[in-house]
Structure 1
């Protein structure tokens, strides 16, 4: 889902300001608690401007109508984005019963209604069908590409969008609260899972229809709510912004680390493999990161007793 970018929340409109500061090299992660109404692209622009950073990118789109964690990588941290995007995610979301929309959330138009409302016991009995590895059809209004075009662009243009079901992993799905008209859930899931599709399919299975009325992301890979900072905190002062910057290595906390010598670090910087001996030896692993004196040097794999660099850092 996309919306026109909201006015920049770091600069009140209608006022004059000094020239923007010169862009600089900034490396690290900002875990933004994105507010409702802001696109992920605009959120990146807000953070990038707060740090006058040359380079920035986010680790996984968050719909404008959703709030919560949007990890944003600056500088060399952009090389670690896949390790955050591939991590497990957690959400809190509320399903409004009785209607289905074409976007599976409140932004879309209602396409079907039902007078039925589910009992909490009936919902709870259904949840095991929605946990584990399940087959899920993504929403028509999603960022998935069809012949090079985003599904939501095709859907908005009135074209028929047919998406194939695909396997997704839902580790946990729990009821937080329930009322006659809505139910709030917590979900823990893997990459590629659409919460809007969970709401749609629950409503269909219960025979009452449903769509997402509220969505908040509470975890992305190694980052949780305790790591988050708000837009207001970023604009409060330069010191507040600097305090929100987390090290590049924060994205790698879920994979093994190996400390290497200065000589080995120089080899890795040149793209050469390093032989691991003695206590430095690790079993074969597809993802390991190497540090020297606490400084991140490279991400790579351990193959046949060697550390093979895949990405080298300039920190």
Structure 2
């Protein structure tokens, strides 16, 4: 008997339940994973906050996990090839990762790099693929300087590291308490708040070519629009309304083109992490049974790194 978190009604966390469930045996193209860590993301609660197409209640929670293969369907290989019971793996994009055990499509399962701890591995791919797509859609190129709003957050930290791989310099907004984190991953930190436009212009020496917004504030959008003339080189993951209004790009995992891109880069991100060139700072871990407490901490807005649930 497995246990998992589900949303039983639309709305807040008070509609979630930690339920027992009988798992079926994996069929062709499926595997069962005994979860060792589940990644925690804002999308986990945002996607069940209100009715949406393709999501039915009760809705299992959680999009990414690390774990161990406990069963494999007939004639089935995982996405990275092979796969045997007992192998350590990572899975993304799946449904129902807040669980002790889960049956998932084998195409979404990859061998876990040995150097990655489970809590970090379980938090690599959602933020990492979002960061990769953001850099892709703004066309970040070697030698350029770009502006990243929220550079010390999970997506921002991944942008910093992936930008460095492209030889792209990042001016990153953050609170002063998080400046060291931005510098740690190669960015130049600047404080958000009054005067941001002047600080960004000065830090970028007037040559900021693109902007990535991970925070969704009007300040972030307004500064991006002022600094980047070509609106095709501005992207947000958090201000879709402003993107529609002002004619720049918004991306999200629910968009078919976003999902396809993010799926396409999973193996590359795992390879980067396996080589040590892409890190996932982990702030806290919680027992799986304490998922509500973990999400309440995340909703405070400044976790200082990723959060993982440990069954």
TM-score normalized by structure 2?
Answer: 0.25
As a proportion of its length, which structure holds more helix?
2
TM-score normalized by structure 1?
Answer: 0.25
Give the structure, 1 or 2, with the largest relative contact order (CA under 8 Å, sep 6 or more). Answer: 1
As a proportion of its length, which structure holds more strand?
1
